[in-house]
Structures are given as C-alpha cells and as structure tokens.
Amino acid sequence: MGQEIRSSEFSSHDFRAFSNRLKEETSLLLEYIRHRRLSQRSGVGGFELEAWLVNGNATPAPINEKFLQRLNQPLVVPELASFNVEINSSPRTLRGDVLHRMAAELTKTWEACRRTAATMNADLLMIGIPPSLRQEQLSIEHMSSMTRYHALNEQILRMRQGRPLQLDIRGKEHLCTTHEDVMLEAACTSFQIHLQVSPENAVRTYNAAIIASAPMVAACANSLYLFGHELWDETRIPLFEQAIEIGSEHDRRVTFGNGYVHGSLATCFEENASRYPVLLPMIMEEDPSRFSHLRLHNGTIWRWNRPLIGFDPDGTPHIRIEHRVVPAGPSVLDCIANAAMFFGLIHALSTLSNPPENQLEFPIARSNFYLAAREGLHTKIQWLDRGAIPIQTLLIEHLLPMARKGLEKLEIDRTDIDAYTGIIEARVHTAQNGAEWQRRWVARHGNNMNALNKAYHERQNSAVPVHEWGF
C-alpha cells in the first residue's frame, strides 16, 4: 500500500536529514541480517490488484475518493489516478487450500467493489492498459488527492528541470509523444505478487524471480494497445520505464535491475542509498528499527522484482519479494492462476541443486524479459542449458511441470494445483492471453478501441478465464 506523507514542500535541510536517516537505517538492516534478527517466516504469499473505475462506456471514471469513502474497505486504497484503486489481499501461508481462499477473497472484494461502483453508475475493469485510453485523460487534474503523488510529480519534474517526459515505444507501430507530468504511470495497472521469504532463502528466491520474469510476462501479457497504437504485447513495461524517467540512463527509477544478488538482499538497499537520489525527503520521528525512511525511499525505486521490508503481526521485520511484471486481469481466475504459477515456479527454481543464476547470465535473463514483453507467447528465449527455445514449448514442456512440482512441495491441495496450472496450460496451448485476445478481436471486428474496451469488459464480467473468451 502507498505510504502517505505530510507535505510536498522540502528544503535542502530535509534532503540532508533524510539521507542521514536513510544511511543509518540501511546500516541497521545490514546488522539485522548479520545477527539474524529478521523474521524467519517463509512461504507467505499475497498480492495487489490495481483496477480502473469506469463509466457505462468502459472509459475512466475519476471518482475514487467518493468510491472509497462509500466502500469503506481497508484493503482497497487509492492509486495515482482518481480513476484507479488498488485491491490488497490478506497475507496467507502457502499451504493446503490457500489458492482457493485467495480466489474467494478476491472474488468477494471485487464483487463488493462492483456493487459499490454500481451505486455511482460505474463499474470496475482489470486490464494492464485499457485499449480505448486517450492521452488527454492522463491529466494532472485526474491525479488522486494524496500528497505523496503530487510531491512525487513535483520532484521528478524538478530533477528533469521542467522538461516534459518523452515517450518513445517501437512495436508493431511506433508511438512517440511527450507528456507534462507523471500521470503516464497511471496507465500501467498491475497484479503485483508478494512472497515473504526467510533471509536464508531471500537471495535464491530473488534471483529466481528475475529468471522467471520472461516466461511470466509472456504468459500473462495483457497490454497490447496504448493510445490506439499496437505496440508490445505487454506495453506496460516500456511505458512505466519511460513514465518516471529523471533523465539519466544510469539512474533509471524503473528497471530490471543491475544484476543478480549475492550475499544478501541488503545489496539492493545499499544500492538504493548510494545510487538513487532521494525524491521524497519526509522526516519521520520513528525508531530506526521501523525502517521508515528506507521503506519510503525504496517505494520510489520500481525494480520489476523489488525487495521489500515489512512486518510480521508481532512487529518483527521481514523480507518480501514483490514481483511486478504481471499486468492486471483479465479475470479473477486468471489472476490467481498467474499467482499460482509464480509461487510454484519460484519455489522450484530457488531449490534446484544447481542454482539457475549460475546457468543463465544476467544480461541474458534481462534480454529474455524484454523479448517476452515485446512479443509475448510468440518469441524464443534462452533458457538455462537448453539454448533458444520457443516460449510456448518451454512453458508447456518444462516450466508448468516445474511449477506443479513446486506447488506440490509447498503442500498445496492437488485439486487447486490442477485447476490453476490448468488455466495457464490452456492459455499457453491456445496462445490466447489477454494481449492475444485483443489482437484477435481487432482482426475480426476492426480497429475500434471503444468497442474493444466494451467487449473486453463484458467478457471479464462473465467470470471465465481469458482462454475461453470468444469474439
């Protein structure tokens, strides 16, 4: 959940004081790891689903403040734009019927949101980027009222010396435009999967998440169109990277990372403190053991796989891996299937006797990711010792069986393993993820983005997974 701040006005003293506290908390985190003071709990999963509030034409409805007041649900919170909300799950131990319970909770919350939206002549939509979205809808007037977002916009523009953000994405078509603020980020809605790990398993798990990013984004792609242009199968990836660009290739705030981690995940937080300028220097009078400044600063650096510091119910700090590559949607069942694939695949990869990061160089893992984001299920990637392999073949013959074994080792119920990995298997066999369904719909009906948006929304409300959607 987004961490709110009190003010958007900062002095040079604020930046110095914040940097000092950030350095102190980073050193303290190293000490906690060294002396085993972090939580040893592992195998706890959860997620965040970002969604759109839409009107009867399935176009953005900037009403999140009134909607959230009326809904009054603590797990549903604002996002950057006034037409976006974020639905959070309860953290759950990955065992038994956990996937069934995750699906039941998300369904219950989603339906409660839809009922509340209906009282405002609106509805909800889960998709990476709505195909009918227009650039003028991403205006500063539609930014949520939270101080955090306005301060972030001001600080990024300050670091860019007032220069507008440049958007340049080459896919099937080429989109090149400028934007005056960070509201481009609001176009990128995700299904972010969280996995709490013990410090001893954190490095292997983090590296496994990096390696799994390519097949995950290929299988889950759902962001084909932006402003009417057909770009990448998961256009959200280049869009988000360019939407918060401070002007330095070396210091990109949205990044695949700079390499695997060795030793401990403290490496990422040390890199945060030394490499990335502070954007939100909000001083908080809390004990350093709350890691308030470290967590706020980490929240302004968006690695596609991001380590987080959170807290157990008893207050003990813990480590979570946040997997950010998966877009929102297309349905509740698809979301839970995506989470199941991630949990199973990561457990399997991170427990291989020969660590996969020793078999696949980081630059290749990074190249795989961008190839898969661009071409979805229609590309080849390099995989461990197998060389270049079509990603559909890799998923069906190797990765889905591996994910099933990982879920079995976690002692997930067999019926749930079969049900949710079966959704992914059928999706890959038909090559129909959200992006491909949109492409096929346009091939049949023509390039009418408003009609595509409405057709997508209607099928989403049918509550069946995307591989079963017709045209």
DSSP secondary structure letters along 371-382 = HHHHHGGG-EEE
Q: Round to whole Å and give the CA distance between 134 and 152.
A: 23
Phi-psi region at 64: left, alpha or beta (left = phi > 0; alpha = psi -120 to 50)? alpha
Q: Round to whole Å and give the CA distance between 303 and 73.
A: 29
Q: What is the pLDDT along the chain (471 residues), one digit of tens a residue?
A: 456 556 667 899 999 999 999 999 999 999 999 999 999 999 999 999 999 999 987 889 999 999 999 999 999 999 999 999 999 999 999 999 999 999 999 999 999 999 999 999 999 999 999 999 999 999 999 999 888 889 999 999 988 888 999 999 999 999 999 999 999 999 999 999 999 999 999 999 999 999 999 999 999 999 999 999 999 999 999 999 999 888 666 668 999 999 999 999 999 999 999 999 999 999 999 999 999 999 999 999 999 999 999 999 999 999 999 999 999 999 999 999 999 999 999 999 999 999 999 999 999 999 999 999 999 999 999 999 888 999 999 999 999 999 999 999 999 999 999 999 999 999 999 999 999 999 999 999 999 999 999 999 999 999 899 999 999
> Residues, the chain, total?
471
The answer to whether position 7 is within a domain reads no
The answer to whether position 3 is within a domain reads no
Q: Which pLDDT belongs to residue 353?
A: 96
Q: How close are the terminal C-alpha atoms of the chain, in Å?
A: 36
Residue with token string 């977002």: 149
Q: Where are the beta strands (DSSP E) in 55-138?
A: 76-78, 84-88, 92-93, 123-125
Rg of the chain over Cα atoms, rounded to whole angstroms, equals: 21
Domain harbouring 41, CATH code: 3.30.590.20
Q: Round to whole Å and give the CA distance between 150 and 351.
A: 43
Total domain count, the chain: 1
The answer to whether position 4 is within a domain reads no
CB atoms within 10 A of CB 317: 18
Q: Where are the beta strands (DSSP E) in 135-242?
A: 165-170, 174-179, 191-197, 225-226, 229-230
The answer to whether position 5 is within a domain reads no
Q: Round to whole Å and give the CA distance between 283 and 18.
A: 6
Question: By C-alpha distance, which of 60, 79, 74, 77 is closest to 144?
Answer: 79
Q: Backbone phi, then psi, for 181, in 5-degree steps?
A: -155, 180
Q: Which pLDDT belongs to residue 1?
A: 40
The answer to whether position 6 is within a domain reads no
Q: Backbone phi, then psi, for 409, in 5-degree steps?
A: -65, -30
Domain that holds residue 450: 12-468
CB crowding 163-172: b at 16 or more within 10 Å, else e: eebebebebe
